Amino acid sequence: MKRSKINKAIKRMEQLVSEHGFKLPPFCRFTPLDWANKGSEYDEIRDNLLGWDITDYGEGNFDKMGFSLITLRNGNVKLDKYKKPYAEKLLMLEEGQYSPMHFHWSKMEDIINRGGGNVLIRVFNSLPNGEFDNTNVKVCADGREYYVKAGTRVRLTPGESITIYPYLYHDFGVEEGTGAVLLGEVSMCNDDANDNRFYKNIGRFPAIEEDEPAYRLLCSEYPKNG
């Protein structure tokens, strides 16, 4: 993925966040030069991968398969010094983009439409071998419990949310004609390196082609202490 594409996505997400009145923590504004001078007092950000996360899933077609995310807070399942059992993310999905089908072995999360268009989340139960189950799926959304057929796309309009349980396959798309969506995620600790099971074998973090200087560093790029 070209650095210019990553920079453009970050600036676009900053714009959408501002339009919806969401205020980001200071570390989201750190430049690469700022990070070169940050000491151990910022290790929680480094260790827990807080900050910007732009991915094309290694497919090289971000406008079709991609996601822009910010991890705002997170614990750490491997380091005992971080006691937070929860995480929070902010996510942006443009109309025409798609985030591929996956589940989490451990993480439970609520996905919230924070503003913009309507997001469509397709859901399947999973079988022990990792294939889709054809059984009806229990949906828990804003205090309401109901069932839908396997493969149903659950629509979330602004303000609505859905609970995603472990082993529940889900993907994301935007309802045509409704525009970019700003999503929130409130969850158990996030571990992208070990807790994502994609239905198709794809990557999670992009390889980067450096065609221009970085506007912001991604959460996987921080230099070590100062």
pLDDT tens for 92-137 read: 999 999 999 999 999 999 999 999 999 999 999 999 999 999 999 9
Tokens of residue 16, six digits: 């959408």
Q: Name the CATH code of domain 3-198 (choices 2.60.40.10, 2.60.120.10, 2.40.110.20, 3.60.15.10).
A: 2.60.120.10
Per-residue burial over 104-133, b if 16 or more Cβ lie within 10 Å, else e, is beebebebbbbbbbbbbbbbbbbeeeeeee
**What is the distance between the alpha carbons of residues 78 and 93, in angstroms, rounded to a whole number?**
30
Say what the alpha-carbon torsion angle 87, 90, 93, 94 is, to the nearest 10 degrees.
-170
Predicted TM-score (pTM) of this structure: 0.94
Residue 24 — very low, low, confident or very high, per pLDDT cuts 50/70/90? very high
